[in-house]
A = this chain, B = another copy of it.
Amino acid sequence: MAPPSPSHVAPLLKDELDIVIPTIRNLDFLEMWRPFLQPYHLIIVQDGDPSKTIRVPEGFDYELYNRNDINKILGPKASCISFKDSACRCFGFLVSKKKYIFTIDDDCFVAKDPSGEEINALAQHIKNLLTPSTPHFFNTLYDPYREGADFVRGYPFSLREGVPTAISHGLWLNIPDYDAPTQLVKPLERNSSSTRYVDAVMTIPKGTLFPMCGMNLAFDRELIGPALYFGLMGDGQPIGRYDDMWAGWCAKVIADHLGLGVKTGLPYIWHSKASNPFVNLKKEYKGIYWQEEIIPFFQSAALPKESKTVQQCYRDLSLLVKEKLGPIDPYFQKLSDEMVTWIEAWEELNPAAK
């Protein structure tokens, strides 16, 4: 037998995946990820003052966009991209030309599994994305496509092909992704690899919403990209820390409508620092209040049967947002308008997607 050709040892999906990072304040970040991420192309979207310089260590292949670049590329449509908030990361999704995206925050480091081995988060995300999801029936032994696993007795055979996986949502060791009130109440709670490591991947069932965190997230841009808009947050907006939640609600409703799957669980990253709970409380409080109405809205949002593309579904959703959430606060009318702007920008930069 011939020795394996270089393609066998090459990083998975090297030419089909971009890494999108909202900003890099921490020089150690890329050094730590170098063994796993250096083979890939990075898209860095600077979230604040464009005059500040982001230093990227030697050897990484990257493009960097600051606010001036965003304004230049999108013109008036730049209004849909948040400023001074990590929500700006979705600009990276827009300008990527790849099929897959892995997005990660700069306070997320390489985690170790309970055996002490470093976790290649990206490789696990790719496994999740390249195997089907099973949103129509629950498999009690978790992801049936993992090695050593399968469908259990009583799982209908007609559903075992599954559906294409659009999103892979990874989790966090060390600092869990808690809201400000929970951070305040439990400042010392940690998700340690010795006590809280859950060795599972699972499909979130059809019709069930989940809180999607943007810290450690991968998706198939061709299948679901236009739904991954991170909304209007940060500078000049009444709300923060709900950018990923907004994207998750929209994306899950659209994935369910289009017959696509969303997985959650592995891989873990090591989340190094909790953001300030007092600052977070200020950013979150409208979100905490509004989500009590937003979630029932998404739980009952029905998209027209005729809508067969993510873009069309997203436009439908923007109309529903204006109609049903607009009365809560003028913010949602503006958000609805910018959802449309986002889709226009997507179609402009991705003409084949139109």
- Residues on A lying within 8 angstroms of B by beta carbon are 114, 137-142, 148-158, 169, 171, 176-179, 182, 186, 189-191, 195-200, 204-213, 241-242, 244-245, 248, 264, 284, 288, 291-292, 295
Interface pair A176/B213, CB less than 8 Å apart:
no
Interface pair B205/A141, CB less than 8 Å apart:
no
Residue with the highest number of chain B CB atoms closer than 10 Å, among A198, A213, A241: A198
Interface pair A150/B137, CB less than 8 Å apart:
no
Chain B nearest CB: distance from A297 CB in Å?
12
Interface pair B179/A153, CB less than 8 Å apart:
yes
Interface pair A138/B195, CB less than 8 Å apart:
no
Name the residue of chain B whose CB is nearest to the CB of A199: B198
Given known contacts A196-B148, A199-B199, A154 and B179 CB-to-CB distance under 8 angstroms: yes
Interface pair B199/A178, CB less than 8 Å apart:
no
Interface pair A157/B242, CB less than 8 Å apart:
no
Interface pair B157/A241, CB less than 8 Å apart:
no
Q: How far is the CA of A177 from the CA of B151 in the complex (A)?
A: 9
Q: Out of B153, B182, B209, name the residue touching A211 (CB < 8 Å).
A: B153
Q: How far is the CA of A140 from the CA of B199 in the complex (A)?
A: 13
Chain B nearest CB: distance from A108 CB in Å?
15
B residues less than 8 Å from A153 (CB atoms): 177-179, 182, 211, 213, 241, 245, 284
B residues less than 8 Å from A248 (CB atoms): 154
B residues less than 8 Å from A288 (CB atoms): 157
Q: How far is the CA of A137 from the CA of B212 in the complex (A)?
A: 12
Given known contacts A156-B295, A179-B154, A292-B158, A209 and B138 CB-to-CB distance under 8 angstroms: yes
B residues less than 8 Å from A198 (CB atoms): 142, 198-200
Interface pair B152/A213, CB less than 8 Å apart:
yes
Given known contacts A153-B213, A292-B158, A295-B156, A208 and B137 CB-to-CB distance under 8 angstroms: yes
Name the residue of chain B whose CB is nearest to the CB of A244: B154
Interface pair A150/B182, CB less than 8 Å apart:
yes
Name the residue of chain B whose CB is nearest to the CB of A180: B153
Interface pair B191/A141, CB less than 8 Å apart:
yes
Interface pair B291/A150, CB less than 8 Å apart:
no
Q: How far is the CA of A200 from the CA of B138 in the complex (A)?
A: 15
Q: Out of B140, B191, B199, name the residue touching A210 (CB < 8 Å).
A: B140
B residues less than 8 Å from A151 (CB atoms): 178, 182
B residues less than 8 Å from A204 (CB atoms): 138, 205
Interface pair A154/B242, CB less than 8 Å apart:
yes
Q: How far is the CA of A149 from the CA of B178 in the complex (A)?
A: 10
Query: A148-B196, A152-B179 known; 18 other A-B pairs, CB under 8 Å?
Result: A138-B204, A138-B211, A138-B264, A141-B176, A148-B189, A148-B195, A150-B182, A152-B176, A152-B177, A152-B178, A152-B211, A153-B241, A154-B179, A154-B212, A154-B291, A155-B179, A198-B198, A204-B205
B residues less than 8 Å from A197 (CB atoms): 199
Q: How far is the CA of A10 from the CA of B291 in the complex (A)?
A: 43
Chain B nearest CB: distance from A339 CB in Å?
19
